[in-house]
Amino acid sequence: MISGLAMNGHGRGALEAFRQMGQAGVPPDDQTFTGLLSACSHCGLLDEGMLFFETMTKQYGIKPNIHHYGCIADLMGRVGKLDQAYELIMSMKELKPDSALWRTLLGACRIHHNVTLGETVVGHLVELKAQEAGDYVLLLNIYSSVGDWEKVKDTRRFMKERGIQTSLGCSSIIVKGVVHEFLVDDVSHSRKEEIYTTMDEINKQLKIAGYVADITSELHNLDEEEKGHALSYHSEKLAMAFGILATPPGTTIRIAKNLRTCVDCHEFAKALSWVYNRVVVIRDRNRFHHFREGRCSCDDFW
């Protein structure tokens, strides 16, 4: 329950479940604290997370493992304490940092546009011979967010030369027992014309309501208008449009995506949930996002 609440953005609920666990006399184990620290990292509960990290050893005699360090590094990174997170990782003596731990910090570098540390982290991944396409995509995100298009070009060239290929984003939605899958700019669906007409209408309504595309999510050196257009037809947006088109008003829209949803699609889903009075649930590569009345369960801390 603690881990499930954490994954769905209910950090305080996870902490309450832990309190009830103690009242029931059930002793926590290492996985309990992994769930608790994950809940803190997903919800930005820095003080609580640091307290759990300290008391798990002092009060319960549980030695932190690589997952616990990963959660704390993630928590520090998300709240902007990138240098402290790096120092924590480098201070690990008995445990050797693995690729998952470095990727956690790389994700924080993307959030806070920290180019220097991002390059350092990729260097550690290269040393481990564990670098993946997604790592370079995060690096591209960091470079593009600060407008360093020369490094974006260099990184793309490097990926091409090494044959590093990225996975296509794919979003799916189930309507009346049938799975409908979408890629970016997808035109393969039998109702594509209706979907794109609906998508255009949604864009108009959301803009009236104040939604503005987050062009930092676009990794190509385009002008603002071109970037906005490129972001308009991401796979989860098309899945949401189909959900609006194919289900009755008030129906919850549930979408699964194989990659981490981008910042712009996250903002889009928040706006859509408010304008169309729909609950939208997106399970991406990392967690569940529950959008309701213009807010997300993650409180934009993801």
pLDDT one-digit tens code per residue, 166-201? 778 899 999 999 999 999 999 999 999 999 999 999
pLDDT of residue 39: 92
pLDDT of residue 164: 82
* Nearest residue to 62 via CA among 77, 52, 72: 52
Is residue 244 a contact partner of residue 276, using CB atoms and an 8 Å limit? yes
Numbers of helices and strands, H then E, in the chain:
14, 6
pLDDT of residue 56: 95
pLDDT one-digit tens code per residue, 77-125? 988 999 999 999 999 888 999 988 999 899 889 888 899 999 999 999 8
- pLDDT at 131 > cutoff 80: no
- pLDDT at 284 > cutoff 70: yes
pLDDT of residue 262: 86
Rg (CA), the chain: 21
* Nearest residue to 80 via CA among 54, 43, 44: 44
